[in-house]
Copies of this chain bind each other. A is one copy, B any other.
């Protein structure tokens, strides 16, 4: 499929056509990990989503709100086992397809409404990176949206510090996911291809490092 086939100029693209989606790996540090992971995946409502689980990671396609609801539900369910876990999450928009991006550069950026999530009671700590993938003929530079996103994390009360290559977040799992997703959606209003990566740590026995 080409962009022209997908989206005549007068028809807004769907999130799927625009490549809105996630890829995540849920790691459970416990010998009972198969039951915990499969139980968490089974517990979450995948209505309206495309979910494809492989041996390396799981793909989720759908709307921003539904993708984040699903991620939050899966991770919260696994966390309630009490096991230490980590999750690496990638959110992407503006470059559908697999190896080849099926949208040409310079398509109008497709924003979305901010998402909302109900609190989970699960404390998550995270390292977060945001990548606005500008091309040479795009306006702007890539650090300003990153600084703005970090300011928003401070305003949301979950900023915990800055480390090399990543911002540290600390708060309810739902707040962490909301801040990350809404920054990704927000930058996506002006930049076509935006990716964000998050590494979550939950129930860690390690001393917290600040």
Contacts and interface: CB of A to CB of B under 8 A. Distances in A.
Nearest to A128: B56
B55 A25 contact: no
A100 B142 CA distance: 12
A46 to B, nearest CB: 16
Counting every copy of the chain, the complex holds: 2
Contacts of A97: 164
A95 B165 CA distance: 8
Contact of A164 (B92, B129, B137): B92
Interface in A164-208: 164-168, 193, 195, 197, 199, 201, 204-208
A66 interface: no
A3 interface: no
Contacts of A101: 143
A7 interface: no
B127 A57 contact: yes
Interface of A: 19, 21, 23, 25, 27-34, 54-57, 59, 61, 84-86, 88, 90, 92, 95-101, 105, 125-127, 129, 131-143, 147, 150, 162-168, 193, 195, 197, 199, 201, 204-209
